[in-house]
Amino acid sequence: MNDVAIAGIGLHAFGRHDGKSEADMAVFAIREALADAGLGWNDIQYACGASKDGRFADSLVSRLGLRSIPFTNVSGGCATGGSALINACMSIQSGLADIALVVGFDKHLRGMFGLNTQEWNVDSWYGEIGFLTTVQFFAMKTQRYMHDHGISHDALVKVAMKAYRNGSLNPKAWRRSEMDYETIANSRVINLPFRQYMVCSPSEGAAALVICKGDVARRLTRKPVYVKGYALRTRQYGSLEVFSPSKPLENAPSPTTIAAQAACEMAGIGPDEIRIAQVQDSEPGNEIMHMAETGLCAHGDQERLIQEGNTGIGGSLPINTDGGLMANGEPIGASALRQVYETCLQLRGQANGRQVPNNPNSGLCQVYGAPGVSSVVVLQC
């Protein structure tokens, strides 16, 4: 089976960009990724695109060039970009293509995401009591997790502080100002235990990757980043996930736990060998839960790691080094690929002021979306 490597990366800054369409941002990211790989659109043999509120990704060919190549559109909640990358990796490994493009983009309206129960196969009562507002569901799940595993509200505040601190070092982040403890801790309640400056916002942006067979990547770049493992998993009976209408008495591993185990097994490494991680952090509770669900630490050990500063850029397990969703916002189609973009910069040693020390050689990227689906990618250089 062919090995897969990332030869080019591109990112349009996240935030709000009045006067720019989602297609403008997607084409910018694609051209940046192609230039980074030293390739042109004519070199791409397969493409896969991800978006929620943007147009169909394959419509971008009208801007890039009409070449009649296979171009697949995917959707998977907040895991959409991860689904697109996995799809493109399989195209390389199956022999369908030697060089492929992955693009994710979105331009969401201001305010909460527009959702309806019929889209997600849940009854109307679920929305009527408020759980279609995902921050309410995650607040409930986080409260339970904090109780069961001894996580403090102080830890939530410090996760948010880290996000804004890292975002201030990222020229392509939306929120580029640090925020002090008191400002976050005393901001208005959104849904306890979450406050205003702990919750990510829908935003705009785009990210793109050029992936290819390993031998092709080694010709194109001196330091390719290899996609060593990947997995996408849906929820199973017994796990409490977003848009789950009930929770059985028995417990079962989350889709993130199962995906992380599968991705690490495919990569041939354990989670203890991961040197940098980007995880879904739509709120601090999600970052904390996903730290353990991916196997990066034990449940309950997050409190100590956060209090000791180990998840910061200079710590033993840097997490969300570009500011994550709290500093970047979430254009759904692009978020997973933003994580991969950041991890590639770190593994290449090109992250400048937010560069993780000691030459990290492995990274994990995890996203989680409705209705309880998670994708995990393991990268190495």
> What domain range is 346 assigned to?
4-109+200-380
Tokens standing for residue 94: 């199956």
**Considering the domain boundaries, does residue 223 fall inside one?**
yes
Q: Please give the pLDDT value at position 102.
A: 98
Measured distance CA(317)–CA(291) in Å, rounded: 10
Report the b/e string of 271-280 with b at 16+ CB within 10 A: beebbbbbbb
**Considering the domain boundaries, does residue 146 fall inside one?**
no
Q: Is the pLDDT of residue 157 over 70?
A: yes
Average pLDDT, stretch 55-76? 91
Average pLDDT, stretch 46-51? 93
Q: Is the pLDDT of residue 176 over 60?
A: yes
**Considering the domain boundaries, does residue 129 fall inside one?**
no
Measured distance CA(83)–CA(74) in Å, rounded: 7
Average pLDDT, stretch 78-107? 95
**Considering the domain boundaries, does residue 353 fall inside one?**
yes
**Considering the domain boundaries, does residue 189 fall inside one?**
no
For the domain that residue 354 is a member of, what is the CATH number? Answer: 3.40.47.10
Going by C-alpha positions, the residue among 288, 321, 283, 323 that lies closest to residue 15 is 323
For 214-318, strand residue ranges (E) read 225-234, 276-278
Reported confidence tier of residue 114, pLDDT bands at 50, 70, 90: low
Distance between first and last Cα of the chain: 19
Q: Please give the pLDDT value at position 261.
A: 98
Q: Is the pLDDT of residue 1 over 80?
A: no
Q: Is the pLDDT of residue 150 over 70?
A: yes
**Considering the domain boundaries, does residue 291 fall inside one?**
yes
For 70, 71, 241, 268, 377, the CA distances from 57, given in Å and listed in that order, are 12, 8, 28, 33, 22
Average pLDDT of every residue of the chain: 94
Q: How would you classify the pairing of strands 46-50 and 71-74?
A: parallel
Q: Please give the pLDDT value at position 311.
A: 98
**What contacts 90, CB < 8 A, 6 or more positions away?**
none
In this structure, what DSSP letter does residue 108 have? P
Average pLDDT, stretch 189-204? 95
Phi, psi of 137 (to 5 degrees): -60, -50
Q: Is the pLDDT of residue 104 over 90?
A: yes
pTM above 0.85, yes or no: yes
Measured distance CA(16)–CA(108) in Å, rounded: 9
**Considering the domain boundaries, does residue 186 fall inside one?**
no
Going by C-alpha positions, the residue among 375, 370, 338, 363 that lies closest to residue 174 is 338
**Considering the domain boundaries, does residue 121 fall inside one?**
no
**53-67, 143-157, 324-338: segment of lowest average pLDDT:** 53-67
Q: How would you classify the pairing of strands 189-191 and 362-369?
A: unpaired
**110-119, 211-220, 355-364: segment of lowest average pLDDT:** 110-119
Structural domain total, the chain: 1
Share of the chain above pLDDT 70, in %: 99
Going by C-alpha positions, the residue among 169, 207, 167 that lies closest to residue 6 is 207
Is-cis flag, bond preceding 371, omega within 30?
A: yes
Going by C-alpha positions, the residue among 283, 300, 308 that lies closest to residue 150 is 300
Per-residue pLDDT reduced to its tens digit, 11-33: 999 999 999 999 999 999 999 99
